[in-house]
């Protein structure tokens, strides 16, 4: 069962881009101003050349020509220098924005309800963190600045062309219809066409990999012919898909070329006509034609980058969608009045309409040890997760000191109750950082105390850099038992009054387990413990045993009471005891 994470709509994306832009007004306007200046410097040439043509017509001196060439060189150098700084500033801005986007995304991802991550998690979330972030990175770093520059240049060039004379607007307008029609025609078909093309590549790969991996089977069953045919089929489909996109390009590109050339030619013809009528000077026609020709490059870039920007916007929509997952925790601001954990008529479902807990009541005494036993799939782990405040119940309540666990901010919740599982992740960072994340701001002494409590101080201090030793992936390797100790020390530091224990030590090898058992015992000392017991002998030591069957607490009482009562616990105990004594 997978749920998909939402995708933000266009309005949200626009609004977000707006906020991002407004966060750095100085850099944004600085970069824009530089781009404008660079574009303006580039616009001097046609004017100067126009003047040159005109002066040649009227008779000129070599000095005059030299001056104009000198001026051209100055503007060229100015444009180069300005462009360099404009690009530099845009890149810095791009990186800055990208970093903020990533931070926002990480925040949003970390705020996702655990249940959502588990359901949609690996596939969708990973694609978003990798592919969409990459795509967006490309858009923000390259496409967006290039596009902005192209737009600025195009607008300014057009304005410059108009200043030569209003008549220039007419030939420019002639280029618009083929441009718009061609673009719409292409964009409507291109996305699907290219998607299909890449899908056929994946298909070729899939078939080929399958054939190679199953080579023995293929040979044994004489499937060779059929596999070859399957590959031929895939290649044929790919050929057709490529032909289609090629067809799109063979229509689109010439169409664009024509759309670009029409204005230039029209300017020349129209300008020439006006010149023969004595309406405009030869210099003006020269400048106008050069400007209109200069428009081609930025317009072409605007068009070709549009595609990339669309992809970037789609990725951004997917990244922002993560923030739209409704939170399943609602901080109420109420303070717990005690340490007592209570479940009241709790029902819960992972999949709508299929409850796995059917009305569970459980009052846990402060300092009490409760063991949960029962057949696998009965709902023990689920109940444990609810008692640790990871999921909210569908109906009913799970409270600490009268306040719902999911009403507490996460940081507060961890000070009340924590879930201990056999998943013990060592994060990349120093040993200290690994512990302190349980309680930010802890002193080194507190960290040492926590390590000492779980019997881990000795080996940590023996590490080359002690608390500063880097562990986690890429850092110093720690054993599974050491990782578990780090996780336990984290708990000591967080210091919750209640622990929910799920198979805490069952995966550790027996020798390490005995050692860990001591560490664990130290952590459990003085706390309320709800243990999901997979070995009955720990149930024997508990204050009370809860037998979970089919999403309900079927039996609840001390070991002796339950054995006395002769229910399913008694039967379990009998068979286990009987087996262990033979």
Which residues form the interface with ligand ADP (CB under 6 A)?
Answer: 118, 350-351, 356, 374, 376-382
**Angular region, 59: left φ>0, alpha ψ -120 to 50, beta rest:** left
d(CA 264, CA 369): 87
**Residue closer to ligand ADP (CB basis): 126 or 366:** 126
Q: How far is the CB of 377 from ligand ADP (least distance, A)?
A: 4
- 41: CB partners within 8 A, 6+ apart: 75, 76, 78, 79, 82
Query: If DSSP codes are grouped into helix, strand and coil, which group holds residue 329?
Result: coil
d(CA 148, CA 94): 12
Supply φ then ψ for residue 327, to 5 degrees.
-75, 140
Nearest to 109 by CA among 96, 94, 124, 99: 124
**Residues 512, 537, 550, 399, CA torsion sign:** negative
**Residue closer to ligand ADP (CB basis): 374 or 496:** 374
Q: How far is the CB of 116 from ligand ADP (least distance, A)?
A: 11
Q: How far is the CB of 382 from ligand ADP (least distance, A)?
A: 3
d(CA 391, CA 249): 53
CA atoms within 13 A on the CB side of 30: 12
Is 495:457 a contact under the CB 8 Å cutoff? no
Q: How far is the CB of 328 from ligand ADP (least distance, A)?
A: 14
**Residue closer to ligand ADP (CB basis): 121 or 415:** 121
Query: If DSSP codes are grouped into helix, strand and coil, which group holds residue 478?
Result: coil
**Residue closer to ligand ADP (CB basis): 393 or 472:** 393
d(CA 541, CA 543): 7
**Residue closer to ligand ADP (CB basis): 376 or 473:** 376
Nearest to 33 by CA among 143, 147, 139, 152: 152
d(CA 396, CA 361): 9
Q: How far is the CB of 513 from ligand ADP (least distance, A)?
A: 21
d(CA 363, CA 361): 7
Q: How far is the CB of 3 from ligand ADP (least distance, A)?
A: 11
**Residue closer to ligand ADP (CB basis): 3 or 442:** 3
- 252: CB partners within 8 A, 6+ apart: 182, 185, 186, 190
**The length of the chain, given as a count of residues:** 582
**Residue closer to ligand ADP (CB basis): 118 or 543:** 118
**Residue closer to ligand ADP (CB basis): 312 or 384:** 384
d(CA 145, CA 481): 51
Is 239:201 a contact under the CB 8 Å cutoff? no
d(CA 364, CA 370): 8
**Residue closer to ligand ADP (CB basis): 438 or 547:** 547
**Residue closer to ligand ADP (CB basis): 318 or 391:** 391
Q: How far is the CB of 39 from ligand ADP (least distance, A)?
A: 57
Q: How far is the CB of 374 from ligand ADP (least distance, A)?
A: 6
**Residue closer to ligand ADP (CB basis): 117 or 258:** 117
Q: How far is the CB of 361 from ligand ADP (least distance, A)?
A: 17
Q: How far is the CB of 376 from ligand ADP (least distance, A)?
A: 4
Q: How far is the CB of 121 from ligand ADP (least distance, A)?
A: 10
Q: How far is the CB of 350 from ligand ADP (least distance, A)?
A: 3
**Residue closer to ligand ADP (CB basis): 98 or 387:** 387
**Residue closer to ligand ADP (CB basis): 534 or 540:** 534
Residue ranges of the alpha helices (H) in 322-437?
A: 380-387, 410-416, 431-436
Q: How far is the CB of 502 from ligand ADP (least distance, A)?
A: 8
Q: Which helix H or strand E contains 341, and what residues bound it?
A: strand 341-351
Q: Is 561 exposed, middle or buried (0-12, 13-18, 19+ CB in 10 A)?
A: middle
Q: How far is the CB of 204 from ligand ADP (least distance, A)?
A: 35
d(CA 145, CA 93): 9
d(CA 571, CA 307): 69
**Residue closer to ligand ADP (CB basis): 62 or 376:** 376
Is 325:293 a contact under the CB 8 Å cutoff? no
């Amino acid at each position: 069962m997978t749920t998909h994470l939402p995708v933000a709509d266009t309005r949200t994306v626009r609004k977000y881009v707006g906020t991002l832009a407004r966060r750095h007004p100085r850099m944004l306007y600085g970069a824009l101003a530089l781009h404008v200046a660079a574009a303006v410097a580039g616009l001097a040439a046609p004017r100067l050349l126009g003047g040159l043509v005109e002066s040649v017509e009227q008779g000129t001196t070599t000095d005059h020509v030299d001056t104009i060439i000198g001026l051209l060189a100055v503007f060229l150098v100015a444009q180069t220098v300005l462009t360099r700084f404009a690009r530099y500033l845009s890149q810095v801005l791009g990186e800055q924005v990208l970093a903020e986007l990533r931070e926002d995304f990480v925040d949003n991802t970390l705020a996702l309800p655990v249940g959502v991550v588990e359901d949609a998690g690996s596939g969708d979330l990973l694609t978003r963190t990798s592919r969409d972030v990459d795509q967006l990175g490309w858009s923000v770093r390259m496409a967006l600045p290039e596009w902005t520059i192209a737009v600025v240049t195009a607008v300014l060039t057009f304005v410059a062309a108009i200043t030569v004379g209003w008549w220039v607007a007419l030939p420019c307008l002639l280029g618009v219809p083929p441009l718009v029609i061609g673009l719409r025609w292409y964009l409507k078909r291109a996305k699907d066409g290219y998607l299909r093309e890449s899908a056929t590549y994946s298909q070729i790969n899939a078939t080929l990999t399958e054939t190679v991996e199953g080579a023995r089977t293929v040979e044994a069953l004489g499937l060779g012919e059929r596999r070859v045919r399957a590959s031929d089929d895939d290649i044929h489909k790919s050929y057709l898909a490529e032909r289609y996109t090629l067809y799109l390009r063979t229509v689109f590109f010439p169409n664009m070329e024509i759309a670009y050339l029409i204005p230039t030619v029209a300017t020349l013809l129209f300008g020439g006509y006006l010149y023969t009528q004595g309406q405009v000077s030869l210099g003006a026609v020269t400048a106008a034609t050069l400007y209109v020709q200069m428009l081609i490059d930025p317009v072409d870039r605007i068009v070709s980058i549009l595609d990339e920007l669309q992809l970037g916007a789609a990725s951004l929509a997917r990244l922002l969608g993560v923030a739209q997952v409704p939170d399943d925790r609602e901080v109420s601001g109420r303070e717990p009045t005690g340490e007592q954990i209570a479940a009241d008529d709790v029902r819960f479902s992972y999949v709508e309409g299929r409850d796995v807990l059917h009305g569970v009541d459980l009052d846990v005494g402060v300092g009490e040890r409760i063991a949960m036993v029962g057949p696998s799939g009965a709902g023990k782990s689920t109940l444990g997760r609810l008692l640790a405040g990871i999921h909210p119940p569908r109906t009913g309540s799970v409270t600490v000191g009268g306040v719902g666990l999911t009403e507490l901010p996460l940081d507060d919740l961890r000070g009340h109750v924590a879930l201990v599982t056999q998943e013990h992740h060592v994060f990349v960072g120093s040993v200290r950082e690994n512990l302190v994340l349980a309680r930010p701001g802890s002193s080194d002494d507190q960290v040492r105390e926590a390590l000492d409590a779980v019997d881990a101080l000795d080996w940590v201090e023996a590490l080359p850099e002690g608390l500063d030793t880097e562990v986690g992936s890429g850092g110093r390797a720690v054993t599974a038992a050491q990782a578990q100790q780090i996780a336990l020390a984290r708990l000591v530091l967080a210091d919750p009054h209640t622990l929910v224990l799920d198979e805490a030590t069952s995966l550790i090898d027996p020798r390490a387990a005995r050692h860990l058992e001591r560490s664990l015992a130290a952590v459990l000392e003085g706390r309320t413990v709800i243990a999901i017991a997979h070995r009955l002998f720990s149930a024997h030591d508990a204050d009370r045993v809860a037998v979970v069957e089919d999403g309900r607490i079927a039996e609840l009482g001390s070991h002796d009471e339950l054995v006395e009562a002769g229910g399913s616990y008694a039967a379990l105990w009998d068979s286990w005891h009987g087996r262990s004594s033979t």
